[in-house]
């Protein structure tokens, strides 16, 4: 999930807020969790992340817990909207 998020985050930065919102939705994360994810992947502590984002370490902990819970869920592909797609 972290690798996919890194790829999507790069696209989100180039595509602006709308792209970031789509990425967050696809990964089941909030916008703030999407901000925390690369910092977490870089090995930053909750305190360091909190200082960077100007929020409390406890709030970071809640977001990290949600990120970890999201990464434990299997990703289910969305059903194609086009009729006649093989396998659906």
Instruction: Give the mean model confidence (pLDDT) for residues 16-36.
Output: 81
Please give the tally of structural domains in the chain: 1
Window from 10-14, 30-34, 82-86 with minimum mean pLDDT: 10-14
pLDDT score for 87 = 53
Assign residue 36 the CATH number of its domain. 1.10.10
Q: What's the Cα-to-Cα distance from 37 to each of 30, 33, 61, 64, 79, rounded to whole Å?
A: 10, 6, 12, 8, 27
Assessment of whether the complete model's pTM goes beyond 0.75? no
- Rounded Cα gap, residues 7 and 5, in angstroms: 5
Residue 39, domain member (yes or no): yes
Q: For residue 16, is it within any domain?
A: yes
* Structural domain contains residue 33: yes
**SS3 string of 13-35?**
HHHHHHHHHHHHHHHCCCHHHHH
- 38-74 per-position pLDDT tens digit: 999 999 999 999 999 999 999 999 999 998 888 776 6
| DSSP label of 56 | -
């Amino acid at each position: 999930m972290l690798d996919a998020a890194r790829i999507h985050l790069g696209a989100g930065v180039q595509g602006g807020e709308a792209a970031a919102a789509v990425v967050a939705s696809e990964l089941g994360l909030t916008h703030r969790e999407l901000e925390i994810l690369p910092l977490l992947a870089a090995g930053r502590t909750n305190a360091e992340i909190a200082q960077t984002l100007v929020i409390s370490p406890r709030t970071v902990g809640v977001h990290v817990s949600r990120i970890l819970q999201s990464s434990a869920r299997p990703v289910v592909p969305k059903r194609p909207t086009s009729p006649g797609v093989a396998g659906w």
